[in-house]
Structure 1
Amino acid sequence: MITEHQKEKITTSKILVTGGAGFIGSNLCETLISLGAEVRCLDNFATGHKRNLDAIINNSAFELIEGDIRDINTCNTACKDVDYVFHEAALGSVPRSLKDPVTSNEVNISGFLNMLVAARDAGVKRLVYAASSSTYGDSEALPKIEDNIGKPLSPYAITKYVNELYADNFKKSYDFDSIGLRYFNVFGRKQDPNGAYAAVIPKFVMQFMKHESPLINGDGTYSRDFTYIDNVIQMNLLAILADDPKAVNQVYNTAVGDRTNLVELTQLLKKHLSAYDSEIAKVEVKHGPNRPGDIPHSLASVEKAEKLLGYKPEFHIEDGLKEAVNWYWNNLR
């Protein structure tokens, strides 16, 4: 995936990961440390967990700053002497943003702007940020192509679209480079199964392991481009390594390019979990009403990322689910 020449670029860099104690951020921190980078993590632990950093917390190349991106001074401190920034810090979840749009706006827009300003002022070479597939909004076109979006369907989607607008403006106004990665339903190790806004895969896995019936919103025909964490890590690394000017200051779908509906998802989860506990195969699934703000279907085109970044997704849904289920079974039972 990464050549020795590319690895050298990472090895000689100091990299900041905001939201580094979260699901994606902590996996990114571990990968960067394993590649020899010097890594600084900024997190306020609102949704991240210190346990996610256990494997690297005592590594001499790792530094943890406990702070909030809504504070510009904290952002300035975090960006000092940094070559690159991976901006993963955000308040995710469509339902959370519908319940509390003000806080989602403060973290996802004001916090993002703080990071852009701090990174620009610190002379950071490039900021790679977590964008979202929610930006496609009410566009019914499939597959989703980066230049064809609709109107946002939730406050969360609005915040992530505004991130893209700010990033584009900072290039035009200040010649500051960035790349946005529109994540499509990321899943995998360390994804939190607990809490009111837990993602569907870890939530369903934990319920199945307890022999509880998962609740599908709607009839189960809604589909998503479920994307395993290692594909996302690959995209983030490629976004830092990109040398072609045409590849920078772009937004990319970060996905597999395939979709799975919720009925199929539960069947696959039961299949892989039953290898550990045969009783799980007997657990039935319940259905409830559709969730406000949800889009029916999501499927990404990854052609742009393949062409400009050299992206090649290594894990498709079943491979990724097998890895994820194994991690949950061995770590969270």
Structure 2
Amino acid sequence: MNIVITGGAGFVGSNLARSLTERPEITQIRVIDNLSTGSKENLLGLEVRFFEGDIQNAALLDQAFHGADAIVHLAALPSVPRSVRDPLASHHANATGTLQVLEAARRASNLHVIAASSSSVYGANPCLPKHEDLAAAPMSPYAVTKLATEAYLGAYHHSYGLPVLPFRFFNVYGPGQRPDHAYAAVIPKWISAVLAGQPVTVHGDGTQTRDFTYVGTVCSILADALLRRVVEPQPVNLAFGVRLSLLDLIPAIEVATGLRAQREHTVSRVGDVPHSQADDTRLRALFPTVKPVPMHEGISATVDWLGAGG
């Protein structure tokens, strides 16, 4: 199989590329990335064909998609706070970018497209756990762009017969996730702070909850979806219903590092949802053999990676 990963030099994309190189069924991996948030260093030592450029470049997409069997569309401008500061940039990269990818997949004889949406689409909907049939209630421009992403996939499936699979990612973490930028995710940011003897910054009171998913588990499911050509036009939660508060995350990091964490509380962030927990019924129906990596193992692996200098 010939696989294209958009955003393949980023955190999830590079982990997926590494995972796919271990699959004998995968004959070639192509990566498209404009390096706005990803890095070529993430792909060092991997046999991939790299296309540097933006997914809004139709000619580049046509070149990369030619002769491919499937697309894993991960390219996006991440971060809720970033989207609040610059909603147009998020819309162009995430919504318009997805539309360009789908058009290119259609031009390339209706390629199988697996794409990343986000649990942020549930937003202000208070129901827990979050099942895919709940009404979406986005609280940020980023969440709106991800809702558009999965809606476009469904529309292209029904309008053009495009084989698609939209996943709603829930707080993916693990090795390769950088802690050293303004929009860093909480787990690498806090682990890095604890290792450096610096306080962790808690936005709000810390009682907000998240359903953290280890990147290795995510990559395993994506690879299985590719190899079995799983098609489902409705969004699928990619998480397992493990609800953890940010205050409970701190002791888990302390155990993994063997260090005491200092805390600094600050104001809540605009657009942040208070609670997140996945209903994994649809996921387990499609992937009945999946075995998620336990939280303590994932945290330990992330600590080891960051402790070794990333």
The structure 1 segments of at least 4 consecutive aligned residues displaced by more than 6 Å after TM superposition are: none
Correspondence for 2:270 among 270, 292, 308? 292
Structure 1 or 2: more helix by fraction: 1
Aligned pairs for 1:190-229 (under 5 A) are 190-229=176-215
- Alignment match, 2:72: 86
Correspondence for 1:127 among 82, 92, 113? 113
Deviations 1:196-250 (A, max 9, x none): 1000111111111110001100111101001100111122123223457xx5223
Establish whether residue 269 from structure 1 lines up as the match of residue 260 from structure 2: no
- Give the paired residue count: 308
CA distance in 1 between partners of 2:267 and 2:291 (Å): 33
- Alignment match, 2:237: 253
Aligned residues: CA RMSD? 1.3
What is the TM-score when the length of structure 1 is the normalising length? 0.90
- Alignment match, 2:59: 73
CA distance in 1 between partners of 2:160 and 2:123 (Å): 29
Letter in 1 for 2:9: A
Correspondence for 1:145 among 131, 137, 153? 131
**Offset, 1:256:** 2.3
Establish whether residue 40 from structure 1 lines up as the match of residue 30 from structure 2: yes
Letter in 2 for 1:329: G
User: Where does the alignment leave 5 or more consecutive residues of structure 2 unmatched?
Assistant: none
**Offset, 1:171:** 1.1
Higher mean Cα deviation, 150-159 or 304-313?
304-313
**Offset, 1:311:** 5.1
**Offset, 1:310:** 2.1
Establish whether residue 180 from structure 1 lines up as the match of residue 166 from structure 2: yes
The alpha-carbon distance between structure 1 residues 206 and 243, as it changes in their structure 2 partners (threshold 3 A), is closer
- Alignment match, 2:4: 16
Higher mean Cα deviation, 65-74 or 247-256?
247-256
Establish whether residue 240 from structure 1 lines up as the match of residue 226 from structure 2: yes
**Offset, 1:307:** 1.0
Correspondence for 1:63 among 46, 49, 54? 49
- Alignment match, 2:41: 51
Letter in 2 for 1:306: R
CA distance in 2 between partners of 1:124 and 1:272 (Å): 45
| Percent identity of equivalent pairs | 37
User: Where does the alignment leave 5 or more consecutive residues of structure 1 unmatched?
Assistant: 1-12, 275-279
Establish whether residue 306 from structure 1 lines up as the match of residue 296 from structure 2: no
Deviations 1:80-130 (A, max 9, x none): 110000001001100000000011000001111000000111124310001
**Offset, 1:77:** 1.3
CA distance in 2 between partners of 1:181 and 1:204 (Å): 26
Establish whether residue 25 from structure 1 lines up as the match of residue 3 from structure 2: no
CA distance in 1 between partners of 2:227 and 2:300 (Å): 29
- Alignment match, 1:319: 297
Q: SS where residue 318 of structure 1 aligns?
A: helix
CA contact (8 A) 1:85 1:124 kept: no
Higher mean Cα deviation, 147-156 or 309-318?
309-318
What is the TM-score when the length of structure 2 is the normalising length? 0.96
CA contact (8 A) 1:218 1:289 kept: yes
CA distance in 2 between partners of 1:90 and 1:158 (Å): 13
CA contact (8 A) 1:16 1:41 kept: yes
Deviations 1:170-190 (A, max 9, x none): 111111111011000000010
Letter in 2 for 1:14: N
Letter in 1 for 2:275: H
- Alignment match, 2:84: 98
Letter in 2 for 1:253: N
CA distance in 2 between partners of 1:249 and 1:268 (Å): 36
CA contact (8 A) 1:88 1:129 kept: yes
CA distance in 2 between partners of 1:311 and 1:179 (Å): 18
